[in-house]
Amino acid sequence: MEIVNAAFFDHFINPRNVGEIDEPDGVGVCGDDSCGDWLRVTIRVANGSISDIRFRCRGCSSAIASSSAMTELAAGKRIDEAYAVTADEIEAAVGGLDEAKRHCSLLGEGALRAAIDDFRGRAAATDEERG
Protein backbone atom coordinates (compact mmCIF):
# COMPACT_ATOMS: atom_id res chain seq x y z
CA MET A 1 0.00 0.00 0.00
CA GLU A 2 1.28 3.42 -0.88
CA ILE A 3 1.40 5.71 2.15
CA VAL A 4 0.19 9.10 0.99
CA ASN A 5 0.19 11.18 4.14
CA ALA A 6 2.25 11.78 7.23
CA ALA A 7 -0.60 11.25 9.75
CA PHE A 8 -1.26 7.70 8.54
CA PHE A 9 2.42 6.84 8.44
CA ASP A 10 3.05 8.26 11.92
CA HIS A 11 0.14 6.34 13.50
CA PHE A 12 1.29 3.14 11.81
CA ILE A 13 5.00 3.45 12.68
CA ASN A 14 4.43 4.98 16.15
CA PRO A 15 1.02 3.74 17.30
CA ARG A 16 -0.29 5.38 20.45
CA ASN A 17 -1.81 3.60 23.44
CA VAL A 18 -0.84 0.06 22.48
CA GLY A 19 -1.41 -2.56 25.15
CA GLU A 20 -4.04 -3.46 27.66
CA ILE A 21 -5.24 -1.91 30.92
CA ASP A 22 -5.07 -4.18 33.97
CA GLU A 23 -8.53 -4.47 35.53
CA PRO A 24 -10.23 -2.18 33.00
CA ASP A 25 -13.58 -0.52 33.54
CA GLY A 26 -14.69 -1.61 30.07
CA VAL A 27 -13.59 -4.02 27.33
CA GLY A 28 -14.71 -4.01 23.71
CA VAL A 29 -13.86 -6.30 20.83
CA CYS A 30 -14.75 -5.91 17.18
CA GLY A 31 -13.69 -8.02 14.23
CA ASP A 32 -14.07 -8.36 10.49
CA ASP A 33 -14.60 -11.96 9.46
CA SER A 34 -13.93 -11.20 5.80
CA CYS A 35 -10.27 -10.30 6.37
CA GLY A 36 -9.54 -11.60 9.87
CA ASP A 37 -8.80 -8.19 11.42
CA TRP A 38 -9.79 -7.72 15.06
CA LEU A 39 -9.44 -5.00 17.63
CA ARG A 40 -9.64 -5.17 21.44
CA VAL A 41 -10.05 -1.93 23.39
CA THR A 42 -9.77 -1.51 27.15
CA ILE A 43 -10.78 1.68 28.95
CA ARG A 44 -10.53 3.22 32.38
CA VAL A 45 -13.14 5.79 33.36
CA ALA A 46 -12.75 8.51 35.99
CA ASN A 47 -15.28 11.24 36.74
CA GLY A 48 -17.33 10.32 33.68
CA SER A 49 -14.44 10.59 31.22
CA ILE A 50 -12.05 8.14 29.58
CA SER A 51 -8.91 8.58 31.64
CA ASP A 52 -6.96 5.79 29.91
CA ILE A 53 -7.48 3.76 26.74
CA ARG A 54 -5.40 0.98 25.21
CA PHE A 55 -5.72 -1.27 22.18
CA ARG A 56 -4.48 -4.55 20.76
CA CYS A 57 -4.99 -5.13 17.08
CA ARG A 58 -4.41 -7.89 14.59
CA GLY A 59 -4.53 -6.43 11.15
CA CYS A 60 -2.91 -4.47 8.38
CA SER A 61 -1.28 -1.05 8.52
CA SER A 62 -4.68 0.62 8.08
CA ALA A 63 -6.12 -1.26 11.06
CA ILE A 64 -3.18 -0.32 13.26
CA ALA A 65 -3.16 3.35 12.21
CA SER A 66 -6.95 3.63 12.61
CA SER A 67 -6.86 2.01 16.05
CA SER A 68 -4.14 4.38 17.22
CA ALA A 69 -6.06 7.40 15.93
CA MET A 70 -9.26 6.19 17.59
CA THR A 71 -7.56 6.08 21.00
CA GLU A 72 -6.37 9.65 20.60
CA LEU A 73 -9.85 10.81 19.58
CA ALA A 74 -11.47 9.13 22.61
CA ALA A 75 -8.89 9.82 25.33
CA GLY A 76 -10.03 12.43 27.84
CA LYS A 77 -13.54 12.71 26.41
CA ARG A 78 -16.69 12.29 28.45
CA ILE A 79 -18.28 8.88 27.90
CA ASP A 80 -21.11 10.20 25.72
CA GLU A 81 -18.67 12.22 23.59
CA ALA A 82 -16.38 9.21 23.14
CA TYR A 83 -19.36 7.05 22.19
CA ALA A 84 -20.12 9.54 19.42
CA VAL A 85 -16.69 9.12 17.76
CA THR A 86 -17.40 7.84 14.25
CA ALA A 87 -15.56 5.83 11.65
CA ASP A 88 -15.52 8.97 9.49
CA GLU A 89 -13.69 10.90 12.22
CA ILE A 90 -11.20 8.06 12.68
CA GLU A 91 -10.63 7.92 8.94
CA ALA A 92 -10.11 11.69 8.77
CA ALA A 93 -7.59 11.51 11.63
CA VAL A 94 -5.35 9.26 9.52
CA GLY A 95 -5.81 11.37 6.41
CA GLY A 96 -8.26 9.04 4.71
CA LEU A 97 -8.38 5.37 3.76
CA ASP A 98 -8.89 3.52 0.50
CA GLU A 99 -12.47 2.26 0.14
CA ALA A 100 -11.20 -1.31 0.54
CA LYS A 101 -9.71 -0.37 3.93
CA ARG A 102 -12.65 1.59 5.33
CA HIS A 103 -13.61 -1.39 7.48
CA CYS A 104 -10.54 -0.61 9.59
CA SER A 105 -12.06 2.63 10.86
CA LEU A 106 -15.32 0.77 11.49
CA LEU A 107 -13.38 -1.61 13.77
CA GLY A 108 -12.31 1.36 15.87
CA GLU A 109 -15.84 2.73 16.13
CA GLY A 110 -17.26 -0.69 17.00
CA ALA A 111 -14.67 -1.70 19.59
CA LEU A 112 -14.79 1.70 21.32
CA ARG A 113 -18.57 1.59 21.56
CA ALA A 114 -18.45 -2.01 22.81
CA ALA A 115 -15.99 -1.00 25.56
CA ILE A 116 -18.25 1.88 26.60
CA ASP A 117 -21.32 -0.39 26.54
CA ASP A 118 -19.40 -2.85 28.75
CA PHE A 119 -18.48 -0.04 31.15
CA ARG A 120 -22.10 1.12 31.31
CA GLY A 121 -23.30 -2.44 31.93
CA ARG A 122 -20.82 -2.92 34.76
CA ALA A 123 -21.76 0.43 36.29
CA ALA A 124 -25.46 -0.42 36.15
CA ALA A 125 -24.84 -3.81 37.77
CA THR A 126 -22.85 -2.15 40.56
CA ASP A 127 -25.64 0.39 41.11
CA GLU A 128 -28.19 -2.45 41.33
CA GLU A 129 -26.02 -4.32 43.85
CA ARG A 130 -25.87 -1.21 46.03
CA GLY A 131 -29.66 -1.15 46.01
Note if 104 is an active site residue: yes
Residue 48 CB contacts under 8 Å (≥ 6 apart), including other chains: 78, 79
The whole-angstrom separation of Cα 56 and Cα 64 is 9
**Cα separations (Å) of 126 from 8, 52, 122, 130?**
40, 21, 6, 6
Q: DSSP H helical segments within 22-85, as ranges?
A: 61-74, 79-83
Note if 35 is an active site residue: yes
The whole-angstrom separation of Cα 15 and Cα 27 is 19
Kindly list the catalytic residues: 35, 104
